[in-house]
Amino acid sequence: MQHARDEHTASLLTDGRVLVIGGSNRDTSLNSAELYDPSIGTWSITGSMNDKRYGHTACKLIDGKILVTGGFDGDVYLNSTELYDPSTGLWTIVSSMNDARNFHAASILANGNVLVTGGFNGDVVLNTAELYDPSTGNWTITDSMNNARDGHTSSILTNEKVLVIGGFNGKTTLDVAELYDPLTETWKTTRNMRNARHYLSASVLKDGKVLVTGGYRGHIAELYDPSTELWTTAGNMSVVRSNHQASLLRTGKVLVTGGLHDSTLLNIAELYDPSTGTWTKGGRMNNARSFHTASVLLSGKVLVTGGSDGSAALNSAELYDP
């Protein structure tokens, strides 16, 4: 990449390019953005955001534009949001969220609206949630979660509900899970995970179950079944990890990359096979990294970008070929 960065985002565009946005290089937060073109294997600079930010979210809207929300600029926790237009390479400021948020979560609902949940506003961890409507460009407050949390995940289920799990409430790591119903705009608790997790990963499998990995001091992965609202164990990863990435491959397997094991950075990858419920080795990345991104390209390959090696942010990127 042109810039070293961690705690950034990476979004797959409709045309197959990958947009990498913001992050931190450990000296300063970044407003720069760049594009990876898989057809020629090169990076190019595109328009910069209006605000520097890391710990933000980025969502691809139905029209192909990218909505970036919140984050931290190094001094201020942000409620600002902006849109990237791939056809022009330019950013425009849109309405601000009601709350500043960092390390929150964002999901695209079936109706095209964006649900943003939780995060840290510089003073407290939030339980608030709000909705962005692309047709109006406005934010509205929706029902608050039952639990304040940051560093959690937010997954769209096949029944169009949103599963929010884990995170940190300012005092403790959470095993609590809850469901948001977009039709009623209300939350309800569901069964707790077997293990409390923070900076975890969650992947919606082809059968609709949700695979949860890492984020605590144990090897065990677990599966959530939306039809029963029950959790079951899903085997043991070879390495304890957090701040990693999990990618659903075309084969239905899940590739888990990098992360932290206590204070050790990992280059080890591993694969979960839902058909057998087992884990196998997935090779080693060229660089150990955490707080990186992993994007499944249209070709089925996985692009891993940036992250931290423990002492500095990385500008390296690498490809995994299933």
What was the pLDDT predicted at 217?
81
The reply to whether domains 95-190 and 205-322 share a CATH topology is no
What was the pLDDT predicted at 27?
86
Cβ burial of 185 (10 Å; 0-12, 13-18, 19+) is middle
In CATH, the architecture of 205-322 is 6 Propeller (2.120)
Pick the CATH number of 95-190 from 2.40.128, 1.20.120, 3.30.200, 3.40.50: 2.40.128
Compute CA 188 distance to the chain's CA centroid, rounded to the nearest angstrom.
Answer: 22
- The whole-chain average pLDDT of the chain stands at 98
Secondary structure in 3-state letters for the chain: CCCCCECCEEEECCCCCEEEECCECCCCECCCEEEEECCCCEEEEECCCCCCCECCEEEECCCCCEEEECCECCCCECCCEEEEECCCCEEEEECCCCCCCECCEEEECCCCCEEEECCECCCCECCCEEEEECCCCEEEEECCCCCCCECCEEEECCCCCEEEECCECCCCEECCEEEEECCCCEEEEECCCCCCECCCEEEECCCCCEEEECCCCCCEEEEEECCCCEEEEEEECCCCCECCEEEECCCCCEEEECCEECCEECCEEEEEECCCCEEEEEEECCCCCECCEEEECCCCCEEEECCECCCCECCCEEEECC
Max Cα separation, the chain?
A: 48
Q: What are the sequence ranges of the domains in the chain?
A: 1-90, 95-190, 205-322
Residues 6+ apart with CB under 8 A from 276: none
What was the pLDDT predicted at 263?
87
- pLDDT tens series, the chain, 322 aa: 999 999 999 999 999 999 999 999 988 999 999 999 999 999 999 999 999 999 999 999 999 999 999 999 999 999 999 999 999 999 999 999 999 999 999 999 999 999 999 999 999 999 999 999 999 999 999 999 999 999 999 999 999 999 999 999 999 999 999 999 999 999 999 999 999 999 999 999 999 999 999 998 889 999 999 999 999 999 999 999 999 999 999 999 999 999 999 889 999 999 999 999 999 999 999 999 999 999 999 999 999 999 999 999 999 999 999 9
